[in-house]
Each structure stands twice: as structure tokens, then as C-alpha cells.
Amino acid sequence: MARRKLATQVKSTLKPVLWLVVTLMSGGGISAYFNNWPIVGPLLQSLIGGRPMATAPQYPGSPYAAPQYPGTQYPGTQYPGTQYPPPQYTDLAGNLVHVLEDTLTHVQAPAATSYPPVYHGPAPAQPVAPRSDKLLIASFNIQVFGESKLEHPEVVNVLAQVVRQFDIVAIQEVRSKIDDVLPRFLQAINSDGSQYSFLIGPRLGRTVSTEQYAFIFDTRRVECDPSATGTFPDPQDQLHREPFVARFRTRTSMPDQAFTFWLVDIHTDPDLVPQEVAALANVFQAMQRARPDEDDVILLGDLNASETQLGPLGQIPGIHWVVSGAATNTRQDHAYDNILFNSQATSEYTGRWGVLNLERTFGLSQDQALLVSDHFPIWAEFSPWETQQVARFGPGMPR
């Protein structure tokens, strides 16, 4: 009798726990549970279908966080000073996953080591373009960007000043086991009254040393499409760290004529450069087909390859890379970083680009610059207005 009574008590105690486990194992249960995570939730939602639900913020600066600035909520309401609502793009998550999975299954290694050159833009006239009505997009591999780097105020100060010179910065090599690196960095960037926000992807990699991609952007100049962000699916495991993609739109007085575009952030494995750069050719072409209302795809990041080593990526019809004949690492002996797009589709490119030399710009020695990163930031300039009016505006967007 005593044993039967004990068994009944144990069963009564475990029943609520078992019910919770069963609930979470259901599609809606898992979705609702993970939806409280700022990155995992939206990505999981994109895989199982439907739009990400509104979630409670987990830390300041999250793209799904509560207001960061007075009178502002991001995303979901008007930004200060604008006369138009935020973008309401159609949800592409399901279609994007299927299109990209089908494409990546056909990735092949390059057949040769030398390739014919394509169109090259003019050399930059100055280290960085002045802030104006032009859109400045940059890429920066901030070497091992984690808590230890944030402990050096002089390094953080340089990094914050770099970001403030651009409208969007694609970041590679965020490496930390905790989630406060970008929020803390954002506080430093915005300490002068700037209004930057960020998107960050999941930790990626085949080893214990994983990395994250991020986009840091000036909310007064651009806005992101919250339904069009995620990690590029790589079912064949062709890439060590599959790209982080997001769609943006410039903030203009006439939003129906604003420049909209994909950014594809990448950091290739230095031990597998030919194979991974070849895979990026398929990534780029898949992103071109990801949705019929968007033809501008800008792939940028640390390719670990110069313009002469782009393989099939450099052979895509109409492809253009901006960095040519210039070193992009701090020791100034290699070209690793670049920004690529189709020159016909992305005719918003003005032809201006540059490599931001940290030593000359901030008066640093090479050793001091290496404490910031072993890469220099690179940038390209674009018009904030669409130069080709194609059918790119989905339901709900102003015309």
C-alpha cells in the first residue's frame, strides 16, 4: 500500500512536467518557446513557416528589442523625423529557404586557378567619402571581437569612430560566448548621440571556436526589413560559416523610390578558400532569385581572396568587385576583403570606394592598429535612390 501511494505521488508530481515537455515538442510549443530568443526565434520561425511573432527583448540593441531612443520603437513604428511608415515587405522566409537549398546542392569546386578580369572601378581619391546624401556601405573584420577587446577603451573608441563614418557596416568575426558584445559596443557608438542599431546572426562554425556575423546601421539613414533576415541555408555544408543575409532600404522623403538591397555577409575559411569562394558564386546567384521584387544583391566581407582569386564568383556575368590593386589587411601585404554586386542591376553604385587605413586615419602605429584588428575596413558608395524602377514593392509598401 505504501509503495502504491508513493508511486501515485510521483506520477502526480511528474505529470505537469511531462505535459510541458510534450507541449514544447509540438510545432507551436517549440516555436513559442524559441521565439523568446532574439536570433533563434525568428530563424526557427522562418524554417517552420510564418512570420516571427512579437517577442520580449532579451538585451538592449536586439533587432526585436523595446525602444532604445525617445519616442522610437524598432521595428514596428515610425522613426523620429520621418513622414512615412516603416517598410511592410512580404514575408519571403519560406521561399528563400527552398530556393537557396536547391541552388547550393549544385556547388562545385573551381576548375582552374586563373580567371579573366572583369570591370574595375576607379581608384579611390581619398580614404573615406564624406557623409552626404550618398549611402556608404562598409565591411570590417574586427579580429576576435569579444569581451577582451571591449576591455580596452582606446580600441573601442577607434572602432566606434570607424562605424560612425558609415551608414551600414557588415561585421565579421564576433567571437564571444555571451550576448552582450554588440549591445555594449552599440552604447559606445551611440554615446555621441548617434542612433545606430544592429542585427546579429547565430554562432557558426565546425569547431568550438564559433563566430557571429552582424550588421550595424544608422537608423536615421537606413531601415531593415525584419521579415527578410536570416542565415543562408547550406544543407550540403559547403561553407564553414554560411552567410548572414538581410534586406535594407534607405530612409528618404519618397520611400517608393528609395534604394532597397540585400546584404550578404561572409567570412570564408582561410584553409578552404577556392572551394568556399566557388560556393559563394551559387550563393550570389541564389540571392538574385530569392524574391522577384529585389534585384540588388551586395555580397561583402572577408573572402580571404584577392580579386584575382575569385574563381567562379568572379565569372558571374556582370559581376563587379570594388577593391582592386589594394591591400586590405593591417600589415598591408594582402587583399582579403571585398564588396561585390552585379554592375547592371546595382547601378546605384557611384564608382567611389576605399580602404580605411587605421594608421593614417587615427594616427596609430602598426602595432596599435593591430590591437584594433588585423583588417582595415573597406567601403563603397551608392545612391540612396533606385536607378531602375522595377516591380520591387510588395503588398503593403507605399508606392
- 184 pLDDT band, cuts 50/70/90, is very high
Asked if 51 and 227 count as a contact pair (C-beta separation under 8 A), the reply is yes
Three-state DSSP class for residue 137? strand
Stretch among 87-96, 218-227, 255-264, 328-337 having the lowest mean pLDDT: 87-96
For the chain, the structural domain boundaries read 93-382
- What 129-135 contacts at long range (C-beta under 8 Å, 24+ apart), as own/partner pairs, is 129/352, 129/354, 129/379, 129/381, 131/165, 133/384, 134/350, 134/352, 134/381, 134/382, 134/383, 134/384, 135/167, 135/168, 135/221, 135/222, 135/250, 135/259, 135/348, 135/381, 135/382, 135/383, 135/384
Q: Which CATH architecture has domain 93-382?
A: 4-Layer Sandwich (3.60)
pLDDT digits (tens, 9 = 90+) for 11-57: 555 544 444 443 444 443 333 333 333 333 333 333 323 333 222 22
pTM for this model (two decimals) = 0.70
Residue 309 CB partners (closer than 8 Å, separation 6+): 273, 274, 277
Which neighbouring-strand residues pair with 302? 267, 337
Give per-residue pLDDT as tens, 65-121: 222 222 222 232 222 333 333 333 333 334 454 444 444 444 333 332 222 222 222
